[in-house]
Structure 1
Amino acid sequence: MTPSGSGRVTALVLLALLFGTPAAPQPALGSPLLDRARFEPFIDGVVRHAVRQDAIAGVTVADVGPSGPVIIKG
Structure 2
Amino acid sequence: MRFAGWYMKIAAGGAAIGACMELFMIHTGFYEQVTMLESEKRAWESSPEAQAMREALNPWHKRDEKEK
Could you state the TM-score of these two structures normalised by the residue count of structure 1?
A: 0.28
Could you state the TM-score of these two structures normalised by the residue count of structure 2?
A: 0.30
Question: Which structure's CA Rg is the greater one?
Answer: 2
